[in-house]
Amino acid sequence: MTKTRQFDIAAHFETDEDIREFLRLTANSGVTSDFICALNTAVRAKGMTEIAARAGVSRASLYKSLGDDGNPRFDTIAKIVEALGCKIIIS
C-alpha cells in the first residue's frame, strides 16, 4: 500500500524571495481568502514564533487571525506582511 502525505508548499520555500513571489502572485489573484491562506503558509515557512514576535502579536493571536475561521484586521495583515520583510504596494 502506498502512503501519501498532504503537500505543504511552506516546506518548499528556499528563500525570502520565494515567499515574496508567492505572496505577490496570490495577492494579484484578488481573492482575499487566498491571500490570508498564503500569509498563513508564509508565516509557517518562516516560523510562527519568529513572525509573531516581529509583528508584535502573540502566537495564539497569529494562529487565530490566519486560521480557517480567521478574519484579520488590516492592521494585523500589515504587521504580518512587514514582519515577513514585504511591503503592501498599490499600483
* pTM across the whole model: 0.89
Q: What is the DSSP letter of 87?
A: -
> In this predicted model, what pLDDT tens digit does every residue of 35-57 receive, in sequence order?
999 999 999 999 999 999 999 99
Tens of pLDDT, residue by residue over 57-88, are 999 999 999 999 999 999 999 999 999 999 99
Residues ≥6 apart with Cβ < 8 Å to 36: 66, 70, 72, 77
State how far the Cα of 84 lies from the Cα of 89, in Å rounded to an integer.
Answer: 14
Predicted confidence band of residue 21 (pLDDT cuts 50, 70, 90):
very high
The upper half-sphere exposure of residue 57, i.e. CA atoms within 13 Å in the direction of its Cβ, equals 24
